[in-house]
Each structure stands twice: as C-alpha cells, then as structure tokens.
Structure 1
C-alpha cells in the first residue's frame, strides 16, 4: 500500500534526523513532533542519545513530549539503563518535561548519584518534578547526600533542585552544616541562604557561607 503524504513527510523527517547539517536535523525533529506517531518514538530517543547540538536535543525532547505519555514514558524509562551518559541524561530531561509520575520509581538513588555530573543534574531536576506528595523529605535526604559535589554549575543545580522542594529541606540542610567535609557545610549553608533569599545569587551565598564558617557559626540562631 502506498504511503500517504503525511507518512512520506514523516519518513523524510526521520531521515533528516541523521543529516550532517544541524539545521536540517532541527527541522526534522520539528516535523516529527508536529505530526506525532508512536512508531517514531524509538528513533527520537535513539537520536537524543547521540545528538551533539543542544538546541536540536531540545527539539527532540519537545517532539517526544508531543507523543502519548503512556507510550513514550516506558521507552524513556528503558533508556535510563543505557551505558551512554547522554542517553540517560536526555531520557531524564525528557521525563521531567513530560511530568508523568509513573516514571517516579525509575528515578533511583543510583541515578541521583550518577558518576556523570550531567546525568546526576538531570536526575535531580526530574526527581523534584516527579516526586509524589509526601515523599519530599526522603528525596531531600537523598539529594543532600550530593552536597559539595562538583564545580559551581553542578552545585547550583543541586541547590535549585533542593530549593524546589521548599522548606521541607531545612532539617536536612541544617544536619549537613555539621558534616566533616567543609565543602558540604559550605554548600548546605549557601543553599539555605538561597532558599530564604532567592535574589541573593549563588556566588554571593557561597561567599556568605564561607564567612559564616570562618566565624564558627551556621547563622541559625533565633
């Protein structure tokens, strides 16, 4: 049976996802998302795992969000076990954009502590979107185990994830201010400062945390 015009256009778009020109790949992802078809979900996910351009990956994610969550989410969950860091990271990112809580059990402690910073950051963002009501304190404790990790960009991502959980994070942060590792203590104090004053800026909060530590207090009196 001959393909319809739409089928032909979509087939051409799938071929376009492999083009050497990033602008062609971008238009191809847009075309697939404009005419979603569950038959193409796996191709989109596979491309996410290897696509080098950020803006094309964002369009691929958008195309996946255009498909039924009941079909896309299980396939994205399968991708979380990939050996490729970008595959895991993009699957997590897409799950956070879809926001379907059937994915919550797949956001494991292993992913939250993934050795690859970008995967871990994507897992943190996905977790705070998908966490069921009432489980925020447990998630806060898991996230707090990563305090002090990585460079400033990674630390800021973790602070933002924790802050998104709200004041439920305060007991966990205050416990972390007594950690042996000074980087953990600094990060915990800075995160609490940002929770109380989101306009302060992360660098300012870190410097303030260092001053507080130099004075020998966490600044929690009263």
Structure 2
C-alpha cells in the first residue's frame, strides 16, 4: 500500500508518515520501482499501535521504546501519564472556573475583563498585602467576580485581607450571599465563622435570614457573631444568645451594648430586663451577677432602673456599689438632659 492510500485509510497525514519514517518509528518495508514508500500489513499494524499509544499521551520517542524494547515496562510510564493527565485536567478545570467567574461578573468592556483577571490572579498570590491591595483597588461600579470574592472570604486567614473581602462583598449589595451561605453548612468551624462575619457585613434582609440560621450553630463564636449582628438590626431572636454572652463573660461589654440597642424597642426592653432579673435570681456566682448589673446600665427605661434600685441594697457590697454608681450616673445624665 502506497503512502497516499495509507494516509487516506488511517487518517495520518503523509507529512506525519514521512516523519515517522525518519524517526524509525514506522518504516515502510518496501519501495516501488519508482522509489515510492510501500507499506506492508505489518507496517500498517505498527502504525495502528503507534496511534493508539499516542492517544494515551505518549510522546513519539516513548511510543518507539514501547514497541521496540522487549523489556520495556509500561506500569511506571502509565503512572506518570496518569499524574500528568490529572494535573492537566486540574489546570483546565481551574481555567474553566476562572472563565465562569469572569462571565458571571458580566464585563461590559475588555478593560473590565482585564481588571477581573488581574484581581483573580492577585487573589492567588502568597502575599497578603498584594491580595488586600487588589481587593481594595477595585473602582466603584467596576464588574466584580463575586463568586471568587466569596470563596476567598471563606478561606482567607489574613485578617486584613478578610476585612477587605468583606468590604468588597458588602459593596456588591448582597450578590455574594448565596456563595457565602454555603460556608454556613461547612463541617469546618473556621469556615462557618468566616461565613457568619462576612454575611453580617451585608445589610440586607436576605443576610438577616441567614444570620438567624447561624443562631443555632454548634459553635459558640458563630452564634455570638450572628447575635451581635442581629441585635444591631433589632432582631429580638438574638436576646438569649446575647444574654448568654453577658452571663458567660464572652464579649460581654459588646453584648450589653447591643442589648441596649435592642432595648430601644419598648417590647424588647421588657423582655431583656425580665431575662436579666431571672438570671440574677438564679445564680450565686458573684462575677456573673456583677456582669449582669453592669449590663443593666445599657438598658433604657423604668424596668431596668427598678432592678438597679433593688441591687443597690444587694448583700454583695461590690454589686450594691456598682448598681448605686450606675443609678447615680443615669440620674445625672437625665438632669443634664432636662437642662439642655
């Protein structure tokens, strides 16, 4: 069979067949009287074997070794090919994710595409300063790869970079909440904590719904961050967790301040004071009772003043003195308010 017919039947170009011949990979066993290459059935069979090996990713030299060396062991080479193939697939998958993130940002111009790609590359940098600068340097109104920013926020260890990412996601008006919500279901507690803090930075109703979910999390820090954010939004569901923070001494000052914000709603103020009174009546732990007494300073209204008045006669001298001092300070502020 002449070279042209071989090319037509086997789907290998005549140029490649000549290259195979020059390498000694597939050499035609005969020549016609005119000097044309003539391939035998064995030559065609060898060509078929070469093409099969090439589909596995072997180079031409590797294919020649596999066919010509009797003691050639394929297992090691096949193992290497598997490793290279997996690496290539991973690289292609990463490229696909990057393209999808660029597409999701809906860039209007090529300048937007360049900005997105630059940001994505910077997020992969080992330098925290570079990652932070890349996030903060995004222009107002620029197309943002929100999915990539959310993924970075869930995995970022550097607190400065994490803060920049939360700022950027908050600027996206809630677009990244779906991706952040995935973090709330993570088996890794650090991821759930990052997700909660990032969601808390987004001032939308959808974010509030997600934070309510976090109130039931098994991790105390997740619950605490969710409660602080919800209390600041006047969500009464946060009261038990916030009061628990005061009782246990976890960010108790911040929790007391947020309880004060919640107490601006009259109905919430009554609930908070009753809950505080119940805790005071059911614990003999002096530090706990002192923290609750101090927290009452943040709660406006007559009910809180009544509890402070009772505590001024408490058998614990420290608590009595603290309650009296708080009441005195509140009275002075009230008089100054009247004069003003």
Q: Scaled by the length of structure 2, what TM-score is found?
A: 0.49
Answering whether residue 252 of structure 2 is matched by residue 155 of structure 1, we say yes
Q: Aligned residue for 2:179?
A: 75
Runs of 5+ in structure 1 lacking a partner? 197-208
Q: Report the CA distance shift for 1:125/1:31 in structure 2 as closer, same or farther (over 3 A).
A: same
Q: Which has more radius of gyration?
A: 2
Trace 1:26-45 onto structure 2 (pairs within 5 A): 26-32=132-138, 34=140, 36-37=142-143, 40-45=145-150
Does the CA contact (< 8 Å) of 2:147 and 2:179 recur in 1? Answer: yes
Shift of residue 100, structure 1, vs aligned partner? 0.8
Shift of residue 149, structure 1, vs aligned partner? 2.1
| Partner SS state of residue 147, structure 1 | helix
Q: Aligned residue for 1:145?
A: 244
TM-align CA RMSD: 3.2
Cα distance in 1 between the residues matched to 2:185 and 2:291: 30
Trace 1:1-222 onto structure 2 (pairs within 5 A): 4-32=110-138, 34=140, 36-37=142-143, 40-69=145-174, 71-108=175-212, 111=215, 114-117=218-221, 119-132=222-235, 136=236, 138-151=237-250, 154-166=251-263, 168=269, 169-180=272-283, 182=285, 183-195=287-299, 214-215=316-317, 219=323
Cα distance in 1 between the residues matched to 2:282 and 2:213: 20
Shift of residue 110, structure 1, vs aligned partner? 5.7
Cα distance in 1 between the residues matched to 2:273 and 2:295: 10
Runs of 5+ in structure 2 lacking a partner? 1-108, 301-310, 328-340
Cα distance in 2 between the residues matched to 1:110 and 1:73: 14
Cα distance in 2 between the residues matched to 1:85 and 1:35: 33
Cα distance in 2 between the residues matched to 1:109 and 1:147: 21
Shift of residue 109, structure 1, vs aligned partner? 6.8
Does the CA contact (< 8 Å) of 2:227 and 2:241 recur in 1? Answer: no
Does the CA contact (< 8 Å) of 1:41 and 1:72 recur in 2? Answer: yes
> Matched residue pairs, number?
197
| Partner SS state of residue 93, structure 1 | helix
Cα distance in 1 between the residues matched to 2:231 and 2:246: 16
**CA distances 1:54-105 after superposition (whole Å, capped 9, x unpaired):** 2211110111012132x32233233222233333223222322221122333
Does the CA contact (< 8 Å) of 1:112 and 1:124 recur in 2? Answer: no
Cα distance in 2 between the residues matched to 1:32 and 1:89: 26
Q: Scaled by the length of structure 1, what TM-score is found?
A: 0.72
Cα distance in 2 between the residues matched to 1:112 and 1:155: 19
Cα distance in 1 between the residues matched to 2:133 and 2:259: 36
Shift of residue 155, structure 1, vs aligned partner? 2.1
Cα distance in 1 between the residues matched to 2:138 and 2:188: 24
Q: Which has the higher contact order (CA 8 A, sep 6+)?
A: 1
Q: Report the CA distance shift for 1:213/1:91 in structure 2 as closer, same or farther (over 3 A).
A: farther
